[in-house]
Structure 1
């Protein structure tokens, strides 16, 4: 038996093989026609469902109803860029969130689905 002491435990490392670009363009709604139709016909329901999927409050996108620049759409887009390491800037986020809001939500939805990372705990015990 060895008398060496373990000082540090190995830490989990996340390696991302994803690109630093959006997985689809802002106008690639034909990549998922049912989702695009849902966003077009029932936009506010669509945004609330996607915000909840992203981990935010279900009704948070409804705050976009007031004002010209939609603050929630823009902030979730910026958050998503930071979470997934996507290059971009706030000026572009502001422009697309203001003038292409439904397309932005569809793009973010496609990105969440494409980058869905299932986390598995190795050696975890059910207590």
Structure 2
């Protein structure tokens, strides 16, 4: 049985020049409203940020099942870096996601707001 194609694949927007994050990992306090939301309700903030990036709204809830390193936060940070051409490494993504989780989500959200690149549903997981 074949499934009909309902949406066509979109070109992925990736920056060709490598740059730094527009805000540091501790720059989450620059926007106090966002900072408080991420600190007091990190799961909700993470879900909204993930949705804005074009992924499944509930994807960050899978981090609840990890014992040490939050795999979704780490992979989202790596994906944001890749999409926007930001310098960094998977090792740094792992360390930041493990020890500064609300700050990592704030940093990703700030980056997406500053870049204002349209989002798209992509990859394997998508919510309908």
TM-score band by shorter chain is 0.7 to 0.9
Q: Is the 8 A contact 2:14 2:83 kept in 1?
A: no
1:43-85 Cα shifts (integer Å, max 9, x gaps): 1111101100000000000000122111100001001100000
TM-score (norm 1): 0.77
- Structure 1 or 2, whichever has the larger Rg, is 1
Alpha-carbon distance between aligned partners in 2 of 1:91 and 1:32, rounded to the nearest angstrom? 27
Question: How large is the RMSD of aligned CA atoms in angstroms?
Answer: 2.1
2:56 aligned partner: 57
In the alignment of these two chains, the number of paired residues is: 106
Correspondence for 1:4: none
Gapped regions of structure 1 (runs ≥ 5):
1-13, 120-127
The residue number in structure 1 matching 2:46 is 47
The answer on whether the counterparts of 2:15 and 2:83 sit within 8 Å (CA) in structure 1 is no
Higher RCO (C-alpha 8 Å, min separation 6): 2
Distance 1:15 1:87 in 2: 13
CA deviations 1:12-31 (Å, max 9, x no partner) are xx896986100000001221
**Normalised by the size of structure 2, how large is the TM-score?**
0.76
Once superposed, which parts of structure 1, at least 4 consecutive aligned residues long, lie more than 2 Å away? 14-19
